[in-house]
Homo-oligomer: A and B are copies of this chain.
Amino acid sequence: MTQDPPREDAGPAATRLITTRAELRARRAAMDGTVAAVLTMGALHAGHLALVERARELADHVILTDFVNPLQFGPGEDYEAYPRTLEQDLALVDGLVDVVFAPSVQELYPVLPPMVSVTAGAAGRILEGAARPGHFDGVVTVVAKLLQLTAPHLSVFGRKDAQQLAIIQRLVGDLDLPVRIEPVEIQREPSGLARSSRNAYLGEAGREQALALSRTIAAARAAAPSAGAIRSVLREALERAEIDWDYAHALDPATLEPIGPEHRGEVLVVLAGTVEGTRLLDAAVAVVTAP
């Protein structure tokens, strides 16, 4: 990890920590070829490394942003307690990314909250947003800012945060941002359980119980291409109640509204439930061609 002034001969293997917008823009302008952005709130783990790996496959340069965004935390949420592990993060991605951009709150938001901001609209008030008013508005605002600052050709986002991915795809489409959003498949443990930092909270029984999520996802995939069969899988899972479900929906990925029997094309299956007090998500995209 170098923190010296940029050298003319610095290759992509020399990861640089940048903390100001001005230096980021200058460094970005000096990059030839294609650029991928990986936007994170830090506390990096294997899931983030899968995003970095995909970004490296797809672009010549990778900028990783590491910023805990106050705008997406509500009052009473864990903004203050959220882990800040910049030194560990830098060590994890050293040599894997060109730049780690880790600005201060004051640097990214000279005025907080900003006067002009982005809103996710109705799609930000359902599912994960239902209990977190303003959360997705904060997400799209910081993502818009970071995409402007990193000016990437593409940016990678995991499919597990399916609502976030859908909303960010709409951000890019609705505001004509010149960037391609590249979804990265969910990383799973050998059991099928979607990888998550929160899995560490689960005991042995909990890990077994949590498989209700991935089993439901697998059953929904197997039920494609029938829209009705997918909806039956979800209804039956809710009825079996192996875990404490928050929701299990089959949605139109463009609108995040529940699909009807006449829906054709991609369907976003989203699950959220609680196991041993830990809230878990899973998701999949299936293609529907029949009622």
A residues 131-149 touching B (CB-CB < 8 Å): 140-141, 144-145, 148-149
Q: Which of B119, B149, B151, B167 contacts A117 (CB 8 A)?
A: B119
Q: Are B116 and A119 in contact (CB under 8 A)?
A: yes
- The reply on A121 being an interface residue by CB < 8 A is yes
B21 pairs with A176, CB closer than 8 A: yes
- Closest Cβ–Cβ distance, residue A152 to chain B (whole Å): 13
Q: Indicate whether A116 sits within 8 Å of B148 (C-beta atoms), given known contacts A174-B111, A176-B21, A178-B25.
A: no
Interface contact A116-B171, CB-CB below 8 Å: yes
- Could you tell me if B122 and A115 are in contact, using CB atoms closer than 8 angstroms? yes
- A25: B residues at CB distance < 8 A: 178
Chain A residues 94 to 148 lying within 8 A of chain B, measured CB to CB, are 110-111, 114-123, 140-141, 144-145, 148
The answer to whether A13 has its CB under 8 Å from any CB of chain B is no
Complex: A140 Cα to B119 Cα, angstroms:
12
A144 cross-chain contacts in B, Cβ below 8 A: 175
Q: Which residues of B contact A34 (CB under 8 A)?
A: none
On whether the beta carbons of A170 and B116 are closer than 8 Å, the reply is: yes
A115-B120 contact given A149-B176, A151-B178, A175-B144, CB 8 Å threshold:
yes
> A110 vs B141: C-alpha distance in the bound complex, in angstroms?
22
Contact indicator B115/A118 (Cβ below 8 Å): no
Q: Are B116 and A116 in contact (CB under 8 A)?
A: no
Among B115, B167, B175, the residue within 8 A (CB) of A145 is: B175
Min CB gap A148→B, angstroms: 4
With a CB–CB cut-off of 8 A, which chain B residues contact A121?
114-117
Chain B hits for A123, CB < 8 A: 115-116
Q: Which residue of B lies closest to A109 (CB)?
A: B174
Binary CB contact string for chain A from 146 to 175 against chain B (1 if under 8 A, 0 otherwise): 001101000000000000000100110111
- Residues of B with C-beta under 8 A to A255: 115
Chain B min CB distance to A21 (Å): 7
A140 to B176, CA, bound (A): 13
In the complex, whether A31 has a CB less than 8 A from a CB of chain B is: no
Q: What is the bound-complex CA distance between A228 and B145, given in angstroms?
A: 38
A121's nearest neighbour on chain B, judged by CB, is B115
CB pair B21–A118 under 8 Å, yes or no, is no
Q: Are B117 and A116 in contact (CB under 8 A)?
A: no
Nearest 8 pairs of A and B residues by beta carbon: A114-B174, A116-B174, A148-B176, A116-B171, A115-B121, A145-B176, A116-B170, A115-B170
Residues of chain A having any CB pair with chain B under 8 Å: 21, 25, 110-111, 114-123, 140-141, 144-145, 148-149, 151, 167, 170-171, 173-178, 255
Given contacts A116-B119, A118-B175, A151-B178, 9 further A-B contacts (CB under 8 A): A21-B176, A114-B170, A115-B120, A115-B255, A116-B170, A117-B118, A141-B175, A144-B175, A149-B176
